Amino acid sequence: MTTHHTSTRGEPRVALVTCAELVDLDPDDRLVLAPLAARGIPAETAVWDDPDVDWSSYDLVVLRSPWDYALRRDEFVAWAASVAALVNPADVVRWNTDKRYLAELSAAGVPTVPTSWVEPGESWQPPAETGEYVLKPAISAGSQDTGRYDLADPEHRDLAVAHVRRLSDAGRVTMVQPYLRAVDTEGETALLFLAGPDGLTFSHAIRKGPMLTGPDLGPDGLYKAEEITARTARPDQLAVAEKTLAAVPGGTRQLLYARVDLIPGPDGEPVLVELELTEPSLFIGYADGAPDRLAAAIATHLARRT
Ligand SMILES: Nc1ncnc2c1ncn2[C@@H]1O[C@H](COP(=O)(O)OP(=O)(O)O)[C@@H](O)[C@H]1O
Ligand SMILES: [Mg+2]
């Protein structure tokens, strides 16, 4: 049986989940606090691995910036499963925190960046052909442990082998992708969807500048700096995003938010690079009304639970 706990004043309790390195949230997420308060929803921040938090005391637990889970994803997924009021929900978190979901989406017909996978312990040599490639862990966020290699350069080939070995030795799966060079000019397009009365609804889009300048040379913080600007989504981008969302296991009604990240492929058509259902930056500061739309989305999910 489920019981709902509300404060003595009867106000709903909402937690915005972050990590210990970011106790005051990402500044962009703070923009939702005022529109939430205006709706009578006082939100608190909570650190996902803080043992003193009583998660059952919240009516809604909203994942926002738990960006330190990549090296302990099992712990994170187990925590998610223990929080009944979590959005996005635990099953989605389990599915979405391992980028092997890209293979499933590709099989479902979503145009997806071509990816091959290196299991820990498997030996790996760079492809014989030249060209630029990206190596990154299947479980990661914030562009960490992600590198770009020019296979015409013997030094890069050696560094690529070392990168895969470093990930393998840590028991991690490596993703190998062609470098989509259109990102250098057109950038990456992130399409943001938020829950509305009729389900998940497109809210806004942003452009993210290219992130990768060369080989990965080791750890460098929680996330890498991003260059973000507002962008208008094109119909072909929206179509790929809708196709992506239609393939999410369990459907999209359970989702508070979704972010679909696209880069043009070699033929200029958008391809999926990442589907962010766990801890996306939502970039609500880059679009008129987006902070209020996120507050409304939270209110919608809250109303379903109280
Ligand atoms: N195949 C690729 N081609 C070009 N750029 C890429 C590619 N894969 C990743 N990147 C760059 O690296 C960044 C981080 O990779 P991504 O797959 O989004 O992982 P995460 O954001 O979870 O760290 C992207 O925002 C993009 O700029
Ligand atoms: Mg990304």
- For residue 86 the two structure tokens come to 């979590």
Residue of 157, 276, 279, 293 marked catalytic? 276
> Does residue 146 line the site of ligand 1, with CB under 6 A?
yes
**Is 228 contained in some domain?**
yes
CA dihedral 163, 169, 171, 175 (to 10 degrees): 20
Ligand nearest to the CA of 272: 1
| Closest to 194 (Cα-Cα) out of 269, 145, 253, 248 | 253
Tell me, yes or no, whether 206 and 271 share the same domain: yes
Pocket test for ligand 1, best of 273, 274, 277, 283 (most atoms within 8 A of CB): 273
For residue 212, give the CATH number of its domain.
3.30.470.20
Question: How many CA within 13 A on the CB side of residue 265?
Answer: 16
Residues by chain with Cβ below 5 Å of ion ligand 2: 274
d(CA 126, CA 164): 10
Q: Which pTM was predicted?
A: 0.95
**Is 11 contained in some domain?**
no
**Is 267 contained in some domain?**
yes
Tell me, yes or no, whether 209 and 166 share the same domain: no
Tell me, yes or no, whether 173 and 222 share the same domain: no
Tell me, yes or no, whether 187 and 155 share the same domain: no
Tell me, yes or no, whether 273 and 198 share the same domain: yes
Residue of 157, 172, 231, 293 marked catalytic? 231
**Is 245 contained in some domain?**
yes
**Atom of ligand 1 at shortest distance to CA of 211?**
27
User: What are the E-state strand segments in 219-269?
Assistant: 228-231, 257-264
Tell me, yes or no, whether 244 and 228 share the same domain: yes
> Does residue 106 line the site of ligand 1, with CB under 6 A?
no
**Is 29 contained in some domain?**
no
Q: Give 184's DSSP letter.
A: G
Which of 126, 147, 178 is the endpoint of a domain? 178
**What is the tally of structural domains in the chain?**
2
Whether 43 and 32 have beta carbons less than 8 Å apart is answered as: yes
Backbone angles phi, psi at 195, to 5 degrees: -65, 135
d(CA 207, CA 233): 9
**Is 174 contained in some domain?**
yes
Q: Separation of 298 CA from ligand 1 center, angstroms?
A: 28
Identify the domain containing residue 143 by its residue range: 116-178
Q: 124: helix, coil or strand?
A: coil
Q: Give 60's DSSP letter.
A: E
Q: 260: helix, coil or strand?
A: strand
Q: Give 86's DSSP letter.
A: E
Q: Separation of 302 CA from ligand 1 center, angstroms?
A: 33
- For residue 150 the two structure tokens come to 């020019």
Q: pLDDT in tens for each of the 306 residues of the chain?
A: 344 444 445 789 999 999 999 999 999 999 999 999 999 999 999 999 999 999 999 999 999 999 999 999 999 999 999 999 999 999 999 999 999 999 999 999 999 999 999 999 999 999 988 899 999 999 998 889 999 999 999 999 999 999 999 999 999 999 999 999 999 999 999 999 999 999 999 999 999 999 999 999 876 677 778 999 999 999 999 999 999 999 999 999 999 999 999 999 999 999 999 999 999 999 999 999 999 999 999 999 999 998
Residue of 13, 64, 172, 259 marked catalytic? 259
**Is 127 contained in some domain?**
yes
Which of 178, 200, 223 is the endpoint of a domain? 178
> Does residue 102 line the site of ligand 1, with CB under 6 A?
no
- For residue 97 the two structure tokens come to 């925190």
Provide the β-strand partners of residue 262. Answer: 189, 272
The reply to whether 231 belongs to the active site is yes
> Does residue 207 line the site of ligand 1, with CB under 6 A?
no
The reply to whether 276 belongs to the active site is yes
Tell me, yes or no, whether 215 and 170 share the same domain: no
Tell me, yes or no, whether 204 and 155 share the same domain: no
Tell me, yes or no, whether 241 and 172 share the same domain: no
Atom 14 in ligand 1: which residue has the minimum CA distance?
143
Tell me, yes or no, whether 141 and 212 share the same domain: no
Kind plus residue range of the DSSP H or E element containing 227:
none
| Closest to 136 (Cα-Cα) out of 243, 41, 211, 86 | 211
Which of 157, 178, 199 is the endpoint of a domain? 178
Burial status of residue 81 (CB atoms within 10 A of its CB: 0-12, 13-18, 19 or more): middle
The reply to whether 44 belongs to the active site is no
Tell me, yes or no, whether 136 and 154 share the same domain: yes
Whether 259 and 280 have beta carbons less than 8 Å apart is answered as: yes
Cα-based angle 249, 142, 159 (whole degrees, multiple of 5): 110
Pocket test for ligand 1, best of 136, 222, 278 (most atoms within 8 A of CB): 136
**Is 34 contained in some domain?**
no
Tell me, yes or no, whether 147 and 187 share the same domain: no
